[in-house]
Chain A
Amino acid sequence: EPEVTQTPSHQVTQMGQEVILRCVPISNHLYFYWYRQILGQKVEFLVSFYNNEISEKSEIFDDQFSVERPDGSNFTLKIRSTKLEDSAMYFCASNRVGAGGTDTQYFGPGTRLTVL
């Protein structure tokens, strides 16, 4: 069964460093998402992406964050200058149909980001 994959599974970085989290969505999906979950907190929406553009972003997704689909398979989240409060589990998700569809979002296993 097709699945969303994410690399790395765990990333440790120093405050102020740039990190890139990578995701490979399911191949026939058109809509891509990033969510994060701070330890013990709710899963929070960061950004959605369709047709090579951001379609929606949350207030968390400030100028330090960017997303890109550099080729036909990868979807990346870049944090330019990491802060301690960026430490969280980051989940990538994808689906075939966007808002209002009958299709669930399929989540990857997550990347645990630890900022020291």
Chain B
Amino acid sequence: KQEVTQIPAALSVPEGENLVLNCSFTDSAIYNLQWFRQDPGKGLTSLLLIQSSQREQTSGRLNASLDKSSGRSTLYIAASQPGDSATYLCAVEGGSEKLVFGKGTKLTVNP
């Protein structure tokens, strides 16, 4: 059974800092790995999708990497801003249509 773990559970940084969020998964047989953003009481917004054959994806200040063999992904956020404050969720799709989510990292960027 696929398990997804995210560390740290929470992170507080000053504005402008570069930061890394970590995600690990137990079963490397995945189709893709996705990073989502969740604002309090709101839905999930897709940030990046990395297919299993890819090593990384970039969107603006966000860069996500995937090491399928070791079951790890990182989300790198450059020059963080207060508007980046949210919970970041990692999810994997493997062998079926469902996404398996981690519990998330709650990020606070302080002005």
Residue contact B43 to A43, C-beta cutoff 8 Å: no
How many residues of chain B have a CB within 8 Å of chain A? 25
Of A56, A100, A104, the residue contacting B46 (CB under 8 A) is A104
Cross-chain contact A110 with B42 (CB below 8 angstroms): yes
A63 to B31, CA, bound (A): 30
Across chains A and B, the number of contacting residue pairs, with CB separation under 8 Å, is 62
Q: How far is the CA of A4 from the CA of B91 in the complex (A)?
A: 19
Which of B41, B44, B96 gathers the greatest number of chain A CB atoms within 10 Å?
B44
Give chain A residues whose Cβ lies under 8 Å from the Cβ of B100.
45
Q: Is A52 an interface residue (CB 8 A)?
A: no
B26-47 residues at the A interface, CB under 8 angstroms: 31-32, 34, 36, 41-46
List A residues 43-89 near B (Cβ within 8 Å).
43-45, 48, 50, 55-56, 58
Candidate in B41, B93, B97, B98 with the most chain A CB atoms within 10 angstroms:
B97
